[in-house]
Amino acid sequence: EAGVAQSPRYKIIEKRQSVAFWCNPISGHATLYWYQQILGQGPKLLIQFQNNGVVDDSQLPKDRFSAERLKGVDSTLKIQPAKLEDSAVYLCASNPQGGYEQFFGPGTRLTVL
């Protein structure tokens, strides 16, 4: 079974630029999550999708972050414009409906200069 795929693995941008991350969850997994993991901290949930609907985006900085999952499969997370404090690893995870375990992708390491 293929795992959660994310791209790119690494991205370096300058502040005020835009960036987008892509995630393809495990086939059949209804729920998809985006997390932000700042160095030395645990993952912080940014947004949770159930199929193509948003379940929780209470911690998403909506003035600069956006995410979509139009067909209920893969998802993109965008930052526009980026700030220095957005430097982090962005993790995507998925789980099947009703399941407890989350399956994580390898993450995208973003460096904002």
Partner 1 sequence: GDSVTQMEGPVTLSEEACLTINCTYTATGYPSLFWYVQYPGEGLQLLLKATKADDKGSNKGFEATYRKETTSFHLEKGSVQVSDSAVYFCALTSNTGNQFYFGTGTSLTVIP
Each residue 14-53 as x (binds partner 1 by CB under 8 A) or -, in order, gives -----------------x-x------xxxxxx--x-----
What ranges in 1-113 are assigned the alpha helix state H?
Answer: none
Q: Going by C-beta distance under 8 Å and a sequence separation of 6 or more, which residues neighbour residue 2?
A: 26, 27
Closest Cα partner for 77 from 112, 41, 108? Answer: 108
Return the amino acid letter for 21. Answer: F
Q: Does an H or E element contain 46, and which?
A: strand 44-50
When the beta carbons of 72 and 106 are compared against partner 1, the nearer one is 106
When the beta carbons of 17 and 104 are compared against partner 1, the nearer one is 104
Binding partner 1 (rule: CB under 8 A), the pick from 67, 107, 110, 112 is 107
C-alpha triplet 61, 64, 102: angle, nearest 5°:
50
Q: Name residues contacting partner 1, limited to 77-106 (CB under 8 A).
A: 91, 93, 95, 99-106
Judged by CB under 8 A, how many residues of this single chain contact partner 1?
24
Which residues lie near partner 1 (CB under 8 A)?
4, 6, 31, 33, 40-45, 48, 56, 91, 93, 95, 99-107
